[in-house]
Chains A and B, each alone.
Chain A
């Protein structure tokens, strides 16, 4: 019977279908690298021949270069897996409404003005500040300052671009520089003529018509003799981008006695590999300062739960929804995927709890808890946290299912028969005849039907007598269900709902049969037909609502399940291991922890009721007695389930010996962590909005990621000075590898490197720096200071200072400190009424003060807000 709801559902199904087909790669280049991709980028930008030649040369160099060995291991990176060009059009067509709420919310919390927000989110818009921009522009032009995007520079100032491009960072400098040279798009071009001081900082977001920060940004800044400039790239707001690989190249020339300062604050929300080559060459008496801030978050996984059932991670697209755990409310919700990437071939381990099985890399974080024996008992020694797979002992897993999915439209059996006929008027013709249907079927799956399908999986069989030419002459649907069987009454009742004839009973009373081709087709079309060896749970079952999945499972339990009271678990035996794995998978989607045991795998002779027969192995799946099944199983099973004592149904919701009680939706279980795989397998990452976690194969897991940045100064002229100030805030599960390089080539050059890092929640921020003093750089002086602040015992920091000193008459200093937030500082601030999180955020802000001081006011304010948010754990 059709109801208005059915029509609504129809529409919903339709929309979902459209949505899925629409997402394709039409707006991107093909995956991977190639001359065709380079040529199409160049043609689209209408570039002159010399630029195309430059790109092609770079591609050639890229192909012949080895991977860099500096920094973290990037062996897993497979260049062929990325897209190298995304046409700008779909990006710009994006509207404010399409920007994920999580990002909007962050803008909101940061207090970023509306106009800037839209720009940052990639929504094309006229800036409110246009008037300001125009007056600035006139001012710049009057002094001969050029400040345009790189594409414009190639068209309007080809001589300058040709003269300077890739002279500071040669194409062959490193593989990523070559990659950038071949595929670059976006970036700024700045030229300051001799003797001009640019007082107002040049900010990238002033270039309103330029592309926003590109995937392969290329920036050139030329500061002629005696001039000065401050250039600010980026912003504290999360970068909203879907690209998986970012490699920028920034080249700066500082003339004699000139001064340049380059400030970046990046809060990458999605990029995965952020590999930027930043370098400045400083002439005699010149000074260069890099001020570099890095904040952000990322993801990684293997198989996930979506509104349409379980889906392999590689089949996800940005914008799809995946199941995620909301730690604040304790509920499971669907959240949008903000980014997805291929993360190369890596070794993995299997983390399992019964048939909850997930294969992940060692560093993959699972929702669990940590125990800190050194903490005062009063403050609690247990704390909910994400724990790396290789250190995991217990995990917090979903115990409930979100009621995702929707009733599945049934595939209807044909009621038309086509047959070959002949009569007196014509020779042979094809005729169709419509039969009156004997079935009364709803349009969509129902709870009763699902139970029936589940029962069929265990006890049902179909016999078909083929017709003479093709098709079925007649067919019967049988259930092996003796008279005293518990499910018999419910079976007859459910069948009576859909078919108008009563069943026939075999003489021994063991089999009930309905003769109907239509009925056989109903089971066949839904994908249930098969023999005991070949039956499987059809995929559509996984995308039905919770009640339907429970009913299906209940049907199968009623058919094949036993409930030995002593075991207090439901047992289902079968020879069909694959079927049991399907059942286990279905149970995992319902938040149960099933376990599969194999009694014997080999064929053997067995005697059943006096007959000797061959048995093809035997397996069993064990399911917990879940009271949600009560509503769906038949009466007798229900009574048996109710006999199971409550103590056996208890869920583990307490963390260790603490008083932390988990919400009812989750449970703590012991897990087994396997050995690393012997071979590398492809791995994928996704990033999810909100708290960033997602449910994969019955586990709650989080994101992880890597950023590498090493701004460099080459001190070429005597007395040239370089300063590099960098901060990194490695939040939950992030890995930053950042640092600096100073190359002293001339006498009396000096460099000052200050690195500040903060790590929190399993985060890791490393400093990696290089100071090289060439022979002849007499009196060179370098000072490197690394301060690291660890906010909890799970976080980590390492310092790798490399010194390559070839001149005896030089002076190099290195200092490194690691500090933890002191209990006394926290107590002091709290005793003045500041809540713990605010107090901790204040200490962190204080730690970063030397960095923040260097920023223009508006960035400083935003940065402080961002730290607050990071401390609350609500960003990313």
Chain B
């Protein structure tokens, strides 16, 4: 069977009328790990939000396709159902909604539970949710793997979470939603060494289990010591400047982003 592909084709994106992405081309196949590295302000986060369909970002040209189907007309929830997952750099808090409630609802929505999906369930309370026991069993297993305390579930979503807790919660969601493609946006920021290890172990495990395609978006090399990319892309000024294999990470580590800046300046002049 052909592996599923996520294809970004000549993507141009404006934010408040200003061009941020200026023609991004990238193909990620299921099972592959790509790293997108770039300096601050190069448009990395714009790319991740655009992929997921944040309404703030206006696509002016190009396309995003999963297996040939364009995602552009789809709202974020439909994109999620096509298998896209974005682990956010700054997950927002939703006061009053417990992590448990949220995970239950999201997982159920992703797996097609709804009043319609279950004939005869009309009128039954919570017919749109996965039966609680079934869900709780799966959830507990995932919690254990992430070394999270079950009491965590009763806290409000991202409300007062530490940096590490937020990122663990993101990976927990990834585990439950089982995406085909995961975009990890600066997932290492705010993590201490132990947390990085647990988070990345779980991501690697999930990649094995689900055969996910992964796009790691990062500023530093640090996370790439745990999640090994087969492909590395250097991102600068809204475009991919150079692509290569894992060795490119070392080049970048050695020379820094100033090198990229100089190269681009040289090319332009």
Contact = CB atoms under 8 A, between A and B. Distances in A.
Contact of B96 (A111, A823, A833, A850): A850
Interface residues on A, range: 20 to 34
Contact of A842 (B53, B54, B97): B97
B88 A833 contact: no
Interface string A827-844: 111111111101100110
A39 interface: no
Contact of A834 (B52, B56, B109, B123): B109
A111 B97 contact: no
A861 B56 CA distance: 34
B86 A831 contact: yes
A231 interface: no
Interface string B77-117: 10111000110100110111100011001100110000000
A833 B85 CA distance: 9
Nearest to B107: A833
A834 B75 contact: no
Contacts of A824: 92
Contacts of B106: 829, 832-834
Contacts of B54: 827
A842 B92 CA distance: 14
Interface string B151-176: 00000110000000000000001000
B18 interface: no
A770 to B, nearest CB: 28
B58 interface: yes
Nearest to B84: A831
Contact of A828 (B75, B92, B110): B92
Interface string A213-245: 000000000000000000000000000000000
Nearest to B49: A827
B177 A832 contact: yes
A823 B55 contact: yes
Interface string B43-84: 000000000111110100000000000000001110111000
A825 B75 CA distance: 14
B266 interface: no
A833 B92 contact: no
Given A831-B86, A832-B80, A849 B95 contact: yes
B102 A829 contact: yes
B58 A111 contact: no
B124 interface: yes
B122 interface: yes
A109 B123 contact: yes
A111 B76 contact: no
Contacts of A377: 58
A2 B79 CA distance: 64
Interface residues of B, number: 35
Contacts of A846: 94-97, 156-157
B109 A865 contact: no
A825 B92 contact: yes
A838 B109 contact: yes
B267 interface: no
A832 B108 CA distance: 10
A496 B53 CA distance: 71
Given A842-B94, A843-B97, A845-B96, A378 B58 contact: yes
B102 to A, nearest CB: 7
Given A108-B123, A861-B125, A831 B77 contact: yes
B113 to A, nearest CB: 11
B77 A836 contact: yes
A376 B122 CA distance: 36
B228 to A, nearest CB: 26
Contacts of A44: none
Contacts, number: 96
A833 B80 contact: yes
A846 B157 CA distance: 10
Residue from A379, A828, A833, A865 having most chain B Cβ neighbours under 10 A: A833
Contacts of A839: 77
Interface in A833-876: 833-836, 838-839, 842-843, 845-850, 861, 865
Contact of A111 (B80, B92, B125): B125
Contacts of A379: 55
Contacts of B125: 111, 861, 865
B48 to A, nearest CB: 10
Contacts of A843: 94, 97
B135 to A, nearest CB: 14
B55 A833 contact: no
B156 A833 contact: no
A511 B189 CA distance: 97
A825 B96 CA distance: 13
Contacts of B97: 842-843, 845-846, 849
- B53, B55, B96, B123: most-surrounded residue (chain A CB, <10 A): B96
Contacts of A109: 123
Given A833-B80, A861-B125, A865-B125, A828 B94 contact: yes
A828 B173 contact: no
Interface in A104-133: 108-109, 111
Nearest to B124: A111
Contact of B77 (A823, A825, A830, A865): A830
A834 B77 contact: yes
Candidate in A377, A842, A848, A865 with the most chain B CB atoms within 10 angstroms: A842
Nearest to A842: B97
B177 A833 contact: yes
Contacts of B122: 108
A376 B58 contact: yes
B173 A832 contact: yes
Interface centre among B55, B56, B110 (most CB of A within 10 A): B55
Given A109-B123, A843-B94, A833 B110 contact: yes
B94 A834 contact: no
A834 B78 CA distance: 9
A834 B114 CA distance: 11
A568 to B, nearest CB: 39
Contacts of A830: 75-77, 80
A281 to B, nearest CB: 33
A822 interface: yes
B77 A835 contact: yes
A845 B94 CA distance: 10
Nearest to A843: B94
Nearest to A858: B125
B55 A849 contact: no
B263 to A, nearest CB: 35
A838 to B, nearest CB: 7
A67 to B, nearest CB: 39
Contacts of A378: 55, 58
B92 A831 contact: no
A829 B105 CA distance: 10
A491 B148 CA distance: 89
B77 A833 contact: yes
Contacts of B55: 376, 378-379, 823, 827
Contacts of B101: 842
Interface in B175-190: 177
A845 B102 CA distance: 11
Interface string A37-64: 0000000000000000000000000000
Contacts of A108: 122-123
Contacts of A827: 52-55, 76
Contacts of A822: 92
B148 to A, nearest CB: 17
Nearest to B115: A109
Given A824-B92, A833-B80, 9 more contacts: A109-B123, A376-B56, A822-B92, A828-B88, A829-B102, A830-B77, A833-B110, A846-B96, A849-B156
Closest 10 CB pairs of A and B: A846-B96, A849-B96, A846-B97, A830-B76, A111-B125, A833-B110, A832-B106, A833-B80, A833-B109, A830-B77
15 contacts: A109-B123, A377-B58, A378-B58, A822-B92, A827-B55, A830-B77, A830-B80, A831-B77, A833-B109, A833-B110, A836-B77, A845-B96, A847-B95, A849-B95, A849-B156
